Chains A and B, each alone.
Chain A
Amino acid sequence: MKIERIKTDLLIIGGGTAGCYAAIIAAGIQNNPQVAAGTKILIVEKANIKRSGCLAAGVNALNAYITEGRTPKDYVEYAKKDADGIVREDLLYTISEKFNEVTAHLEKLGLVILKDKDGKYIARGNRNIKINGENIKPLLAAAVAKAPGVQVLNHVNITDFSVHDNKIDGAFGFGIENDTFYAIEAKVVIVATGGAAGLYRPNNPGFSRHKMWYPPFNTGAGYAMGIRHGAEMTTFEMRFIALRCKDTIAPTGTLAQGVGAKQVNALGEVYETKYGLSTSERVYGTVVENLEGRGPCYLKTEGISAEQEESLLKAYLNMAPSQTIRWIENGTPSKANVEIEGTEPYIVGGHTASGYWVDTKRATTIKGLYAAGDVAGGCPQKYVTGALAEGEIAAKSAVEYIRTARDCFVANAPRNDDKIDYRRHISEKEIENHVTEIEKFLGNKKGAQTAENLEEAMQLAMDAYAGGIKTGYRYSENQLNRAKKEIEIIEALTDNLSAADLQEVMYIYELKERLTVCKSVIAHLAARHETRWHSFAENLDYPEKDNIHFRKYVNSRLENGEIKIILRELTAEGQKNYEHQH
């Protein structure tokens, strides 16, 4: 295996929505003559930034926008209500204040946004605007290509951070197709690897197992790397379960908000009002209607006009083409209501609030490591514009960190700038250890277990014992204990796995990442002794909400191999700034 050492200033791990935008913003800052120029920026992406991450197929609305007559405070209140209080207002404020600015930037990059005859954006509901977002990732990738000082390494999978004394100084990874190991040294790192799909048994576990809502390639790598290095994490128990079109797992918002389709049960009764309208209550209502014999449940689209139908077919082609094909093959929405179902649970900081515990600047508890997008916690309902806003905040903080760190260093020990920039942090021994591990998988004799089979075993264990689809998302402490044991057994088997090539090595690392995340999810679910969000965290031992003990963040940190739970008080109402207490 070839070994390549790379030195950069700002390393961005993951070139999805947040990661690409962080690079564009950081490059823009260094272009500013007021700021020290020559900052080197490197995006490392395990696929290709042109179509990687959540927006590969596109997106057909910007769901976080401050429409006319509304304020960022309204958005904060909406997100806070939806999560029943367990949010960080400082994080929500700082993204809400940027929604419209990043939207204008996207439009400048070429995004088509629906406007009225006066050139004003047309709103869909209270917080959304309509776009043609099929090409949103290619637009971002093109902007990255033009940004000065930004390099992109595509098809390189990062598997570990380099952290010394709780300070990050780089990362390790390998090229999936070029037989190369990368040791990357950086002054500051932004992690933007997205959330985690594939922890639980999916809706369609057979041939279409990857027809899921969240990208199946988002394996929780950023969470896992942070957990292993002792970063504090938050709210992993607030799982996200999406209410989706059955089979294709296509979004339902376009039907609900676009043509006003209501949720109805098999008897034709509108049931959504019975359970409440928060994101989790909409899922919960559907689960209960089915359990009590009033399913299947649908979005009532029968009778929509031919014009509405045509617009729907087009809208889905621009974000979830499977649904349009399904309609064409099986009957269109004007003739048959669209059946809906809940997905398997995902861990994602962009819809719910699971992820790194960050300060307002998006600094994690590891010095020099910033987080943006779905990997960052405490700040739900980010959607696309929130991911962009967090990319921007993290980029500005990271550039500032480099400048401050350099000033400190120069003040304490003046020496020539080259030496400051190019001190070697990663030792040969550390590289050797990582390469040895990869080569072990390539050299292991093919045994009875495969990464694919162990992944399935993990998904079955989570499904049965940690509140998957099988139990209607419900779990008890006894079940969670069993889940923990099962995951530990599976984890012990991963070291003997064999791989034929580096793509298969990546699959082994991805499995290990998911198992690490599963253990945190189980620990968090067990720690919240209440049911605050139906379905998202439906604890059978504690079926009621407990405002006295659990209006708190459930955080965690790995200490000596054990997950330590930390209950933190909610930040004060209206608090706009939060700093880590060291």
Chain B
Amino acid sequence: MSVSRKAGKKKEKKEEPKAGIREKLAEMLELPKEIVMNIPKMTMIGNKDLIIENYKGIIEYESNRIRINTGAGIIKITGDLMTIKEITSEDILVSGNISSLEFLK
């Protein structure tokens, strides 16, 4: 999928005192945070496509609700007519009408 990264939003999870040092280090050395901190990088195109890189696994998959386990907790995607367009061990591409995105602890 050729997804333009500019169009996407970046959502990152902050803190955990341990991760603090890593985050500072990443910021200081300008390293990609998602790699250093082992958190997902998400790219969204409107509400149609969502690419989650650096995820851990699928927890639940229904056409109106998907839960994905990541380093920043569980991401719950709700919407309708959602399909997994592509899935590899690095990233997952969900497409459909996405209505909300939630981080669960």
Do chains A and B stick together as partners? no
